[in-house]
Structure 1
């Protein structure tokens, strides 16, 4: 069954775009060889004052692929762990692993040794590539594994391997970040240095990869159990690389700010795969810093930025934000969390920039939905992209719900993953068949309006039941962002003897409001702006909210802490 030929959103589909894509049948490696042939001297990546051309990217990836095959003895289909912050070596490593016909396993660089061990054992990995400050984490995790499950090869790079010998005196990068990037860290015994592997100039075997080969195994936590690997082929990734570029006006002259972590599926798509396909340039940031981001956008005339909404909120939290020059931005998009309407409107009013929100998951190669820049809606996921069919169904009966009603979003399309690595039961549970088409159950609650635009309500598991009324935390958060004192908000459930559960808001205040705004001020305001069952009865201020490496607010961390407090109180 094909996507609805007369789906409502087709009436608003950008006239410049086709409804479906003709996607190359070649694997991802060919994107690099093609761009290197077309733009040999063009900067592929800019990092800390250094430039890596497409020719250099190709040469380094070839040399590293040769090391993987000849020294580490990596076989086609073998999983290779990649454990780094954003840097050019990350991209070189990705394409080297693909050139060796192996599978990239990106791991969050915030993981500690106890967490990293899961990726060694679950992915059956023998080889890992990491940066020097993380090498001890890998070593400690490896030592804790049974002998037969341990890594056999560890390749280590320093960020300084991709930097100029000395920092430019006028560099916008903070001195503390420069010192962190240039810091020396000892290599674990038996590890191979990055320069040593490249200088050996091993030649890889002739490339014989196919479009349906497994290419990427990113892990997702889901709601229960240990993280599971999502199997993506070259074909599923290629579809979204082509589609996201067309959607966002990407071309060889585009300049992208690469600050979303590359280990995350969004960073992988917009920072590694799509730019190389189109031959554009990426300005890489190793970690988020609002002042540096603004300086780099102005310095390099960044035209494209896919970000996390919390980054925009942080920009507004800077005392220098009125002086930021963001005039070069032509396309600003993001996802991972809903963009508060008040923040998006402020972005439009103060900088003249429209935020085109999108929606996707690790299982869908990042975006399955996006707002067309020509007609973006605020606090909206957008419309299903090329070749994608999405529905809103009752989570129990799996039958379509009427337009405007809340249900679970299910999605089918060429960018959907093949299944969970070594978890056939979880794979079976994640998909349903309808009229000959396979749909992925996203686990997200949402609705679709009469124009075919999708809106998220919340995770299926995240709901507050207050005296029988269902409260969706994200809706309360969006409303709280309208308060002039609120910089960031996270809403969780708090136990209540009368209501069962009540609404609690953990807030970060804007700098100018700290010390003058009290919890009762927020509660009183919320009472005036929200339904009686919905407004927060409890408000707590915090210096910051816990976030994942991809910038998402970790509401479960706050919820778990709240539950622990309640249990302790009941025990006394």
Structure 2
């Protein structure tokens, strides 16, 4: 086990952390008992106390059990943008002893059908602007019940903040068997049975894609989720009931879910929720509610600091600014430091590790660095071919062993077996990311072993997009690669061979793609070619196309 980084370990913290042996829901139960009247959620100036929050959790959990028949270990789909109902539903599903299946709210009907069928979810909780995409699947798949939430139910009577139309929209829930409005569920006042879930029970299953095929569910127990819920705030020194977090990273994604939502509730802090990025509203909220913690992706900070109105906002109370998903440009990190005195804390993690496996220590934060393996975590850099550990400074695949590592992929024992390997008697998860370790034990990212595009922190898996593109009647062959983008970092590019006689245009393909898949996966650029390069076995040589793109757009 590498111990070089122990020389820079946060002062006073242990190398190994003992997490609570309780369910994740219990964190809310305890905070609600400790701080019943304290703000838990703030949504466009509407405040929900911990007692009010917990009461809605119990009512929804009771409905899930008594009306929908949810039982211990069942999967429940959760499909919303950031809002109070997402947080309530997340904890209600766990209170009902079930497993949360968080999905990206950008997903379209065809994509949702896979998540429903694969997870076997009989129940979904969704927001009303998204629900029309899910409605055709209710009663036609294993999905039998849907609770539909309206964001405006949680808005105050008035606010001077700019509220998007989709948030302000009045309640419009379709009348169909198995479909019920959130407000009616809460009003029914069902009481849940005893809470039975413990550390070994199923808790949460975020989906991740891979080099081939459909997205795969990452199985997490309460123990693996709980470890990072507790570990992150302990590491950064932010266990404080008076912490106020700006929650703008999506909750369905493990960083927003763990480092923001679950971490704040464990500490008894307040979540200031923003459903969609808006730099002016973010500035107003930070100022108005004295936000102390903000976890974000670099694109948000770039936009925020370029705002001509920046001087109007008081960001002096920020005591932790952190994130991951992509490296923060050095010039932006320097501007943040000059304005706030805050060094951007970078970290590294995956859906398979339920957020961080590596973090920079607060007293020594290196920029554009993944950080060091944190509490109870052993990470190595390994030659992906020989499966032998490489020397310090050499590049290899990042392997991870720790309490936060997932149990495996849902219904996919083969892919699970391929994703783990043994080293020194320990079972390590093979991340698929290439990197190296410096002389002080800090890890740096260099490349990907697996095909993946990182668009503003959203992971796009080319094989998944290609499989959708082949449904287009004018496409004969297609290869998806990354193209450099000044704002998103990378964006999706499709290299297409048309079917003979087809007069399809790039605009046609882009518009069609928007109807079929989530916006972040949709190609922004389409290039037509006569043929795609192929290997001797007939496989498309995507790497050659990717390298050509990088050479043409350095």
2:213 is equivalent to residue 225 of structure 1 = yes
Which residue number in structure 2 is paired with residue 262 of structure 1? Answer: 251
Which residue number in structure 1 is paired with residue 508 of structure 2? Answer: none
Instruction: State the SS of the aligned residue for 2:325.
Output: coil
Which residue number in structure 2 is paired with residue 283 of structure 1? Answer: 272
Once residues 482 and 21 of structure 2 are traced to their aligned partners in structure 1, the CA distance between those partners, rounded to angstroms, is 51
Instruction: State the SS of the aligned residue for 1:125.
Output: coil
2:333 is equivalent to residue 337 of structure 1 = no
1:162-561 paired onto structure 2 within 5 Å: 162-164=154-156, 166-168=157-159, 171=160, 173-175=161-163, 177=164, 180-190=167-177, 191-250=179-238, 251-461=240-450, 505-508=484-487, 557=523, 561=525
Once residues 253 and 16 of structure 1 are traced to their aligned partners in structure 2, the CA distance between those partners, rounded to angstroms, is 22
Which residue number in structure 1 is paired with residue 79 of structure 2? Answer: 83
2:24 is equivalent to residue 32 of structure 1 = no
Residues 46/203 of structure 1: CA separation in 2 closer, same or farther (3 Å cut)? same
Aligned mate of 1:43, from 27, 39, 50:
39
More displaced 10-residue stretch of structure 1: 416-425 or 333-342: 333-342
2:94 is equivalent to residue 98 of structure 1 = yes
Alpha-carbon shift at residue 183 of structure 1 (Å) = 3.9
Instruction: State the SS of the aligned residue for 1:405.
Output: coil
Q: Which runs of 5+ in 1 are unaligned?
A: 464-472, 478-489, 493-501, 510-547
Once residues 259 and 483 of structure 2 are traced to their aligned partners in structure 1, the CA distance between those partners, rounded to angstroms, is 35
More displaced 10-residue stretch of structure 1: 37-46 or 345-354: 345-354
Once residues 440 and 88 of structure 2 are traced to their aligned partners in structure 1, the CA distance between those partners, rounded to angstroms, is 42
Which residue number in structure 1 is paired with residue 528 of structure 2? Answer: 565
Aligned mate of 2:148, from 148, 151, 156:
156
Residues 414/199 of structure 1: CA separation in 2 closer, same or farther (3 Å cut)? same
Instruction: State the SS of the aligned residue for 2:317.
Output: coil
Alpha-carbon shift at residue 58 of structure 1 (Å) = 1.2
Instruction: State the SS of the aligned residue for 2:81.
Output: coil
Q: Deviations over 1:406-453 (max 9, x none)?
A: 111001000000000001001000000112211000000111100000
Residues 402/337 of structure 1: CA separation in 2 closer, same or farther (3 Å cut)? same
Once residues 312 and 530 of structure 2 are traced to their aligned partners in structure 1, the CA distance between those partners, rounded to angstroms, is 48
Alpha-carbon shift at residue 136 of structure 1 (Å) = 1.0
Instruction: State the SS of the aligned residue for 1:222.
Output: coil
Confirm or deny: 8 A CA contact 1:133 1:185 kept in the other structure: no
Once residues 357 and 292 of structure 1 are traced to their aligned partners in structure 2, the CA distance between those partners, rounded to angstroms, is 24
Once residues 555 and 68 of structure 1 are traced to their aligned partners in structure 2, the CA distance between those partners, rounded to angstroms, is 32
Aligned mate of 2:105, from 103, 109, 112:
109
Alpha-carbon shift at residue 28 of structure 1 (Å) = 1.2
Alpha-carbon shift at residue 21 of structure 1 (Å) = 0.8
Confirm or deny: 8 A CA contact 1:307 1:334 kept in the other structure: yes
Alpha-carbon shift at residue 255 of structure 1 (Å) = 0.6
Residues 508/307 of structure 1: CA separation in 2 closer, same or farther (3 Å cut)? closer
State the TM-score, normalizing by the size of structure 2. Answer: 0.82
Q: Deviations over 1:67-94 (max 9, x none)?
A: 0011001111000000111111111111
Aligned mate of 1:118, from 102, 114, 117:
114
Residues 246/567 of structure 1: CA separation in 2 closer, same or farther (3 Å cut)? farther
Q: Deviations over 1:92-132 (max 9, x none)?
A: 11111111100000010001111111111001111000111
Q: Deviations over 1:268-289 (max 9, x none)?
A: 1023321111111110001111
Alpha-carbon shift at residue 36 of structure 1 (Å) = 0.8
Alpha-carbon shift at residue 223 of structure 1 (Å) = 2.7
Once residues 439 and 29 of structure 1 are traced to their aligned partners in structure 2, the CA distance between those partners, rounded to angstroms, is 28
Q: Deviations over 1:366-410 (max 9, x none)?
A: 000011121100110111010001111111111111111111100
Q: Which runs of 5+ in 2 are unaligned?
A: 463-480, 489-513, 534-554
Which residue number in structure 1 is paired with residue 128 of structure 2? Answer: 132
Instruction: State the SS of the aligned residue for 2:404.
Output: coil
Residues 555/54 of structure 1: CA separation in 2 closer, same or farther (3 Å cut)? closer
Instruction: State the SS of the aligned residue for 1:386.
Output: coil
Alpha-carbon shift at residue 318 of structure 1 (Å) = 2.1
Once residues 362 and 530 of structure 2 are traced to their aligned partners in structure 1, the CA distance between those partners, rounded to angstroms, is 48
Residues 258/298 of structure 1: CA separation in 2 closer, same or farther (3 Å cut)? same
Residues 54/505 of structure 1: CA separation in 2 closer, same or farther (3 Å cut)? closer
Aligned-CA RMSD value: 2.6
Confirm or deny: 8 A CA contact 1:135 1:188 kept in the other structure: no
Which residue number in structure 2 is paired with residue 12 of structure 1? Answer: 8
Residues 179/68 of structure 1: CA separation in 2 closer, same or farther (3 Å cut)? closer
Residues 437/357 of structure 1: CA separation in 2 closer, same or farther (3 Å cut)? same
Once residues 355 and 289 of structure 1 are traced to their aligned partners in structure 2, the CA distance between those partners, rounded to angstroms, is 20
Once residues 167 and 53 of structure 2 are traced to their aligned partners in structure 1, the CA distance between those partners, rounded to angstroms, is 24
